[in-house]
Structure 1
């Protein structure tokens, strides 16, 4: 793999963390990373400090870092805000009726059904993520879009962890299909309520995540 350029060290490290290639508690040593990527220690140090601010790594003595565990309380706070904002977006989408964005959502929902029939859970997982991203992109309210994008970016690790469990994957698939059906029938109230119920259903799943290697106690 080609080493990232100086200004891409941050993106490179963040991608490794978000995709669980660097796991919680893994040590991140400046010199080792710099040698691996073929850059000086300065961009590595800057990237690690930025990742620390974002809560993805934590600093240790002697300039070493380690990948941070996921904070359950922090995730619950984010899902609480998401539960307020996203149902409003779903309601707007249902009210808008047949638009280009609605057609995209419908197409993705159909692809999900095909993935289910083929028991292609990896593709199903990716389609669920893509559906959610397309939903956010459907709004013309840039402020709402930006807020939800920030929230989802911060929830990426826990969302990925949840979707790696096939039981959770099927639960979320079922709820997304019901939301999509309400959007297509332009039942705004039902779509909004289903969206809120879907996010609420994630809270018990988060509470059950007690792997101390991944999550903060």
Structure 2
């Protein structure tokens, strides 16, 4: 009887020791998984969105055209004009990030260098319809220009480039600083932009 009791006690002791060892190993593994600084969670949760708050996006969509309700309740949209589109897409070396002034703030004078009668007046009417400030059409005395030139006052380079694009000219090669000597321009009215009309557009 004593030998059987001793065997039973020794077996229980071994099993107890094994349980303690298993518990120690499991505890060490759990501690390492919690304290390991190099372990990174597989997924990241997005920050909560507060009602009424919009998250930032990489790109901004173009602003929609404005809608105005009429008296009868219908809504009409106003598409952007051609001059507005040109003004927002025109860039020049050294002036990236700047925007041209509104066309209603830019004065334009057209001087006809050709013998085509009424050409300056027709181009002037075109810019008046685009809401530019138009000066009196006049003449450019001297040898007729083969290609139209756009001259601009200091600070009006972007506006001159917009006008060049409206006339389908090259903003890089057909735009120049304002003439130092304006004697060739009859009745010069000091516009922001001077269009010296050549035979390419007068006809």
Q: TM-score range by the shorter chain?
A: under 0.3
Q: Which has the higher strand share?
A: 2
Larger CA Rg, structure 1 vs 2: 2
| Greater RCO (CA < 8 Å, at least 6 residues apart) | 1
Q: Which has the higher helix share?
A: 1
